Amino acid sequence: MSAALTAPTRVHLTRWVVRLHRPALYLWTALILALAAALLWLAGPLADAAAEAWQRYNACADMGPCAYDQDAILRYKDYYEYATYAVLAVPFLVAAWSGASLIGREVENGTARLAWTQGLSPVRWLATKLALPALLVTVGTGALVALHRHAWVAGDGRIDTAKSWSDFATFYASGPVVVALALTGLVAGALIGLRRASSFGALGGGLCVTAFLWFGIHLLIPHLWSTVTKVTPMAHNVGPSGNGISVTQGVITATGARIADAHCTADTTAQCQAYYADLDAVSWFNDYHPAAHYWPLQWIATGILLAVTALLTVVTFRGLRRRTTTPEGAAV
Amino acid sequence: MTDTAIEADALAKRFGRLGRATWALRDCSFRLPAGRVCAVVGPNGAGKSTLLALAAGLTAPTGGTVTVLGTTPGAARARVGFVAQDKPLYPQLSIAETLRMGADLNPGHWDAAAAQRVVAGGDLDPKKRIRSLSGGQRTRVALALALGKRPELLLMDEPMADLDPLARHELMGVLMAQAAEHGTTIVMSSHVVAELEDSCDHLLLIGEGRVRLAGEIDELLEGHARVSAPAQSDLSPHTVIESRTTGRQVSALVRPVGTLRADWQGGTPSLEELVLSYLRNPEAPALTPAKSEEFSA
């Protein structure tokens, strides 16, 4: 039979996935390199200059006007923000590309059907189409968050205006959560790309699913690890203390009861004192996550997102298999 | 090796969800022996493309079964070539790259020479990108990709629609040579009956999602007769597919049961007449292999 035509060899799909998405590969590489360079610059010269300016400012703060490089401080602050938002945009970029270009356009133009009628199964096709980008997304995004963390550490404690670890943009941009979100975006884009016949719809759908999951994990994160409670006597009259991601704040009454969200909205201190006296409050409490909870929160959230990604992957593959295989067709 | 290329049993495909669902194919049963050149004919929207997609393993049936080359469409994938109606190809690749991709994705049974011959016949520069090709040129590359796979079964949805008469003639010749040389079963859909009459030996007529006629074209033609009889003639017991009374004459296309009356003028219909008669008369009883066996029994 025809198998004798040429010696059987392996299917080489990977090189064609690279060839077909070559512009995206170049763009991705350029984006990662540019952002990595920017983050290194931020962590090095920019952070050093800002730290030095703060040092000078703090040294002469009590002695009237002094010379310090205010521009260096503002430059670090601005570029830090730009770089942070650029890293946070990566999952959306991946989801949009996956939905529109990687899968959606193939389904829309019918080239997916062309691929499925070659000598490989649709499942194999999808596996290769997802595995290679998943690897590149993990490596690229992973490098970015590592460098972002490096840039944040470079400013922490040296630059007074540097963001706290618990600032949400900083929290996401310098941890593995954003890598997991990029992978979720990749799979979500593919799932919708296979289901919707328009690449534009898949683009929007991929973005929506990614945004929705990000929002969900954002609501979930404070509750993923048990909080630390800090109690401050009311006499200090400074409000609850303890820096980090706060979950519940309020006052404790003389009977030991906790009243959450007991914020005084009055204008004067006297009115507020009366308000708290009315509640019979003796101290503030703050249930929060201190800096030591950074990694547990990051890794648990990452784990949840990876589990969701795995689930979406199973749904995507099962959908494709059910769509292209006859019910009796156990052999693929 | 099986002697059956495609066998469908009560095959059905529904699109859309409950309420708004439409049946593209319904209760579709037929058997196509291997080695035939089969024309799938029917009006637009009859279910031809759905049938081919089911056989190619691109979509799963809602009901019934389809067996391709003795196995499931999914398992037969490597042995089946498919050319979709809109001839999808990757626009960013060159012709040469497209064929190299065919070689990489069909290991063990890629016939580079055959694929190149089809492209060379169109005097195409292999370095040219797919996006710069005309519709007819794309068809040629799509056919080259499908033939290079050296399929045992080649499914083509409206393959010739974009081609000029010369290219159509030449590529039909290439296809027929392939069928003759390698025993390839060829199934092509069309709504232009005339272009299939010379090259096809098997017919599958589909109308409104059902098989109306299935069988060898010669046998189908011999199994029908065109008759001209006086207007009051009783045409029974023959099965009347279509009849038209003009003046004192009735002309009809019938499936004779036994011999026709000698005083009726008659003849064998052309393929086009046969097809049109069935399409014009959806109520006419279908003739599929199962039923024709009943007839001969």
Give the per-residue SS3 of chain A. Answer: CHHHCCCCCCCCCHHHHHHHCHHHHHHHHHHHHHHHHHHHHHHHHHHHHHHHHHHHHHHCHHHCCCCCCHHHHHHHHHHHHHHHHHHHHHHHHHHHHHHHHHHHHHHHHCHHHHHHCCCCCHHHHHHHHHHHHHHHHHHHHHHHHHHHHHHHHHHCCCCCCCCCCCCHHHHHHCCCHHHHHHHHHHHHHHHHHHHCCCHHHHHHHHHHHHHHHHHHHHHHHHHCCCCEEEEEEHHHCCCCCCCCEEEEEEEEECCCCEEECCCCCCCCHHHHHHHHHHHCEEEEEEEEECHHHHHHHHHHHHHHHHHHHHHHHHHHHHHHHHHHCCCCCCCC
Give tens-digit pLDDT for A122-142. 999 999 999 999 999 999 999
Q: How far, in Å, CA of B275 to CA of B280, rounded?
A: 9
Q: Are residues A319 and A187 in the same domain?
A: yes
Q: What's the domain range around A116?
A: 23-224+293-324
Strand partners, A252: A258, A283
Residue A46 burial by Cβ neighbours in a 10 Å radius (0-12, 13-18, 19+): buried
Which residues of chain B carry a pLDDT beneath 70?
A: 1, 289-297
Is residue A17 included in any domain, yes or no?
no
pLDDT at residue B297, as a whole number: 35
Give yes or no for residue A23 having a pLDDT over 60.
yes
Is residue A191 included in any domain, yes or no?
yes
Question: Considering only alpha carbons, which residue of chain A is nearest residue B152?
Answer: A2
Q: How confident is the model at residue A3 (pLDDT cuts 50, 70, 90)?
A: very low
Q: How far, in Å, CA of B2 to CA of B4, rounded?
A: 5
Question: Considering only alpha carbons, which residue of chain B is nearest residue A12?
Answer: B104
Q: How far, in Å, CA of A86 to CA of B104, rounded?
A: 38
Residue A10 burial by Cβ neighbours in a 10 Å radius (0-12, 13-18, 19+): exposed
Give yes or no for residue A194 having a pLDDT over 80.
yes
Is residue A125 included in any domain, yes or no?
yes
Give tens-digit pLDDT for A56-105. 888 776 676 777 888 888 889 899 999 999 999 999 999 999 989 999 99
Tokens encoding A16: 């064609």
Mean pLDDT (chain A) is 88
pLDDT at residue B72, as a whole number: 93
Give yes or no for residue A265 having a pLDDT over 90.
no
Tell me the shortest Cα–Cα distance from A5 to chain B, in angstroms. Answer: 6
Q: How far is CA A298 from the centre of its chain?
A: 10
Question: Helical H runs in chain B?
Answer: 48-55, 73-76, 95-105, 112-121, 135-148, 165-182, 194-197, 217-222, 271-280, 289-296
Cis status of the peptide bond prior to B237, with omega within 30 of 0: yes
Q: Does residue B190 sit in helix, strand or coil?
A: strand
Q: Are residues A77 and A117 in the same domain?
A: yes
Whose CA is closest to A54, among A152, A156, A148, A153?
A: A156
Cβ neighbours of B63 in A, within 8 Å: none
Sequence-separated (6 or more) residues with CB below 8 Å from residue A9: B107, B108
Q: Are residues A46 and A169 in the same domain?
A: yes
**A109 vs B88, B105, B108: nearest CB:** B88
Is residue A192 included in any domain, yes or no?
yes
Q: Provide the 10 A C-beta neighbour count for residue A135.
A: 10
pLDDT at residue A330, as a whole number: 38
- DSSP-derived pairing of the beta strands B153-157 and B80-83: parallel
Q: How far, in Å, CA of B186 to CA of B40, rounded?
A: 10
Which of A14, A16, A107, A117 to mutate: most B Cβ within 10 Å?
A: A117
A119 and B72 in contact by Cβ < 8 A?
Answer: no
pLDDT at residue B82, as a whole number: 96
pLDDT at residue A240, as a whole number: 78
- Weakest-pLDDT range from A197-206, A215-224, B129-138: A197-206
Q: Are residues A315 and A193 in the same domain?
A: yes
Give tens-digit pLDDT for B110-124. 999 999 999 988 888
Q: Does residue B43 sit in helix, strand or coil?
A: coil
Strand partners, B30: B8
Q: Would an 8 Å CB–CB cutoff place A223 in contact with chain B?
A: no
B105 and A12 in contact by Cβ < 8 A?
Answer: yes
Q: Would an 8 Å CB–CB cutoff place A328 in contact with chain B?
A: yes
Cβ neighbours of A199 in B, within 8 Å: none
- DSSP-derived pairing of the beta strands B202-207 and B210-216: antiparallel
Cα dihedral sign, A78-A79-A84-A88: positive
Whose CA is closest to A129, among A9, A19, A10?
A: A19
Number of domains forming the structure of chain A: 2
Whose CA is closest to B191, among B297, B41, B2, B16?
A: B41
From residue B275, alpha-carbon distances to A143, B126, B200, B281 in Å are 66, 41, 14, 10
Tokens encoding B205: 């007529």
Give yes or no for residue A327 having a pLDDT over 60.
no
Tell me the shortest Cα–Cα distance from A33 to chain B, in angstroms. Answer: 26
Give tens-digit pLDDT for A287-326. 999 989 999 999 999 999 999 999 999 999 999 999 887 5
Cβ neighbours of B149 in A, within 8 Å: 118-119
* Domains of chain B and CATH, by start: 4-216 (3.40.50.300), 223-296 (no CATH)
Whose CA is closest to A130, among A168, A76, A184, A177?
A: A184
Q: How far, in Å, CA of B72 to CA of B65, rounded?
A: 9
B75 and A20 in contact by Cβ < 8 A?
Answer: no
Give yes or no for residue A249 having a pLDDT over 90.
no
Phi, psi of B245 (to 5 degrees): -100, 125
Q: Are residues A258 and A171 in the same domain?
A: no
Is residue A11 included in any domain, yes or no?
no
Is residue A128 included in any domain, yes or no?
yes
Cα dihedral sign, B53-B59-B61-B67: positive
pLDDT at residue B289, as a whole number: 65
Q: Are residues A297 and A285 in the same domain?
A: no
Q: How far is CA B53 from the centre of its chain?
A: 12
- DSSP-derived pairing of the beta strands A228-233 and A281-289: antiparallel
A26/B248: higher pLDDT: A26
Q: Are residues A74 and A163 in the same domain?
A: yes
pLDDT at residue B44, as a whole number: 83
Is residue A16 included in any domain, yes or no?
no
Q: Are residues A173 and A195 in the same domain?
A: yes
A328 and B92 in contact by Cβ < 8 A?
Answer: no
Tokens encoding B2: 């099986």
Q: Are residues A180 and A50 in the same domain?
A: yes
**B80 vs A9, A117, A331: nearest CB:** A117
Sequence-separated (6 or more) residues with CB below 8 Å from residue B283: none
pLDDT at residue A331, as a whole number: 37
Q: What share of chain B is helix, strand, coil (3-state, %, to 5)?
A: 35, 30, 35
Which ipTM was obtained for this model?
0.89
Q: How confident is the model at residue A31 (pLDDT cuts 50, 70, 90)?
A: very high
Give yes or no for residue A273 having a pLDDT over 90.
no
Is residue A303 included in any domain, yes or no?
yes
Phi, psi of A226 (to 5 degrees): -70, 140
Give yes or no for residue A235 having a pLDDT over 80.
no
Q: Are residues A126 and A249 in the same domain?
A: no
Tell me the shortest Cα–Cα distance from B73 to chain A, in angstroms. Answer: 7
Q: Are residues A146 and A256 in the same domain?
A: no
Q: Are residues A153 and A279 in the same domain?
A: no
pLDDT at residue A8, as a whole number: 45
